[in-house]
Amino acid sequence: MAGSLLAPVEPLFRALAATVVPEAERLDEKGWRDLGALVEDALSDRPAGMRRQLVMLIRLLGILPLFRFGRTFGGLDAERRLRFLESIQESPLLLLRRGFWGLRTLVLLGYYGRPEARPEIGYRADPRGWEVRR
């Protein structure tokens, strides 16, 4: 992720991603790189302002738990991380809900967009269709 948009917030992004998709904890370094590349690619033609906002949101999600749990996101255990993100998802602030929804969508795209994730979820779509399934 060096030189990329997410590089400055990489550990935090990974911690957030693994809370959204717990299976991501099992990814090796290549898996994380592939996930990050899909996210970066999806962001590549988005406006610069939106890309900056995403990085700001990730940073914000890193420090917001200080007010509730007295620790940054990185210092929370898995259960508290999940509770915190659920509270963001239900936040009365539209801006936060909207931002988290976007981040969550990108994480899902990054994780499940990898070809390696297909067998994990039993996804077997094939252009040959019925020919290979009957």
Question: Residue 72: left if φ>0, alpha if ψ -120 to 50, beta else—which one?
Answer: beta
128 sits near another protein (criterion: CB under 8 A): yes
Asked if 53 and 98 touch (Cβ cutoff 8 Å), the reply is no
Q: Which of residues 10-39 bind another protein (CB under 8 A)?
A: 38
Please pick, from the candidates 11, 79, 93, 130, the single residue that binds another protein as defined by CB under 8 A: 130
Residue (37 or 82) nearer to another protein, CB = 37
Least distance (Å) between residue 76 CB and another protein:
27
Selection from 43, 48, 46, 49 nearest residue 13 by Cα = 43
126: left (phi over 0), alpha (psi -120 to 50) or beta: beta
> Residue 113 Cβ, how far from another protein at the closest point, in Å?
5
Give the footprint of another protein on residues 37-96 (CB under 8 A): 38, 41-42, 45-46, 94
